[in-house]
């Protein structure tokens, strides 16, 4: 997968940002005045960052999926009989495995 190697650091970043935002929002409850407003704003900024990162991850995942579909489609068009044989062989193998398990 194209995006698989980048997902762990991104997941860690998202988790860290959410944790920071929670901490800031919790501390805003205890603060008053400008300090509370500042903590609340920082928490909201971190949550906005998480939302943007999630949207970017979703877009890249959709793009990667579309790319894989196009690649598979091109492969099938270039090798139609090989694709039919592969699909038939896979079906036979799955049928044999599922038939034995009953």
Structural domain spans, the chain: 4-100
- The pLDDT of residue 4: 52
Mean pLDDT (the chain) is 82
Distance (Å, whole) CA 29 – CA 17: 19
Distance (Å, whole) CA 73 – CA 69: 6
Tokens of 27: 């501390």
**Model pTM?**
0.52
- The pLDDT of residue 6: 60
Contact call for residues 14 and 54 (beta carbons, < 8 A): yes
**pLDDT tens readout for residues 51-87:** 888 888 888 889 999 888 888 888 888 888 988 898 8
- The pLDDT of residue 2: 47
């Amino acid at each position: 997968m194209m995006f698989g190697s980048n997902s762990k650091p991104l997941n860690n970043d998202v988790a860290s940002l959410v944790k920071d935002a929670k901490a800031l929002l919790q501390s805003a409850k205890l603060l008053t005045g400008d300090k509370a407003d500042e903590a609340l704003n920082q928490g909201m900024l971190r949550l906005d960052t998480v939302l943007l990162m999630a949207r970017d991850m979703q877009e890249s995942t959709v793009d990667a999926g579309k790319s894989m579909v196009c690649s598979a489609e091109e492969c099938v068009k270039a090798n139609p009989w090989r694709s039919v044989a592969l699909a038939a062989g896979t079906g036979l193998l799955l049928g044999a495995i599922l038939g034995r398990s009953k």
